[in-house]
Amino acid sequence: MILCTQIKSLTNILNHTRKRIHFVPTMGALHKGHLSLIASATRPDALVVCSIFVNPTQFNQSYDLSSYPRIIDKDMYLLKDAGCQVVFIPSSDEVYPKHVEVEIPDIEETYLLKTLEGYFRPGHFEGMLQVVNRLIQIVKPQSIYMGQKDWQQQLLVSKLLKKYYKQVSIEVVPTVREEDGLAMSSRNMRLSPEERSKAAHIYKALRMTAEQWKIKRIEELETRAFHFLESEGFTVEYFKICERNTLNPITEISKGEQAIILTACWLNKVRLIDNFLLNK
Ligand code: AMP
């Protein structure tokens, strides 16, 4: 595995490959969820490039940025073991050079940018699009691999690709979970043992809602799950059933709709998100 910290050396390697470039952008503190993206990206005709960059512009709270786990040595070991071929770990100055304005691409999707995660984390998606756009220009991939866990993020990146990079495809990889159902996340390592065992209730709430979504009123299900999580000690930001491609709220089950449950909640100082695809 080759490590690049500078755009120049990365470009040099990428310019000399005839393989397809399959790109996995991450913020590090890697777990099995990230590694399943690497596994999905691995093909005989592909060069797998993973970036690790804790992007400051997508954090709307300074505590979240300063406490974000950084364990580069372990990450490098895991990536090498997973068969990643190139890892790009740039500094902030490399991604955002002084005297150069790194634009936030305009994808003309105000609702998708501002609802749910966009509402509770103002500026988060603008920062995410800024860095993904910059990384695409640096890495020039044919395919980009992202997790279902960050559903709204992958929808927005799909819109970015559709508008500016039609030649780039996105592959969305299913969420990898712990044995008790908790979605793997770099933030899980900030949970205390007690919080960690409680965190499994998020998946429980999603499953319970999914089991009942065809027989109960949607608003009732959302409220019930909301109160269940609050009674278990979570502070819930949202627990919503939406149309999965637009994130428009669904109020009634009508035949053609493809739905998803999306939730975000806090356990003390740790914010967790998850989702569950609902089938007709
Ligand atoms: P992050 O490092 O949190 O920015 O995540 C990097 C990529 O890994 C994103 O595309 C995430 O959606 C994806 N990812 C994070 N957690 C999981 C998981 N549990 N299963 C699958 N993909 C994940």
Mind listing the pLDDT tens digit for each residue in 65-86?
A: 998 989 999 999 999 999 999 9
Among candidate residues 22, 34, 124, 201, the one labeled active-site is 34
Beta carbons of 40 and 173 less than 8 angstroms apart: yes
CB atoms inside a 10 Å sphere around CB 127: 17
Q: What separation in Å is there between the alpha carbon of 23 and the centre of ligand 1?
A: 13
Q: Which atom of ligand 1 is nearest to the CA of 145?
A: 10
By CB neighbour count within 10 A (0-12 exposed, 13-18 middle, 19+ buried), where does 64 fall?
middle
What residue ranges of the chain have pLDDT lower than 50? none
Q: String of b and e for 14-37 (b: at least 16 CB within 10 Å)?
A: beeeeeebbbbbbbbbbbebbbbb
The pLDDT of residue 256: 58
Q: What separation in Å is there between the alpha carbon of 36 and the centre of ligand 1?
A: 9
The pLDDT of residue 253: 74
Q: CA-to-CA distance for 167 and 39, rounded, in angstroms?
A: 22
Mind listing the pLDDT tens digit for each residue in 109-118?
A: 999 999 999 9
31 is catalytic: no
Question: What lines the ligand 1 site, CB under 6 Å?
Answer: 26-27, 33-34, 36-37, 146-147, 149-150, 173, 175-176, 183-186
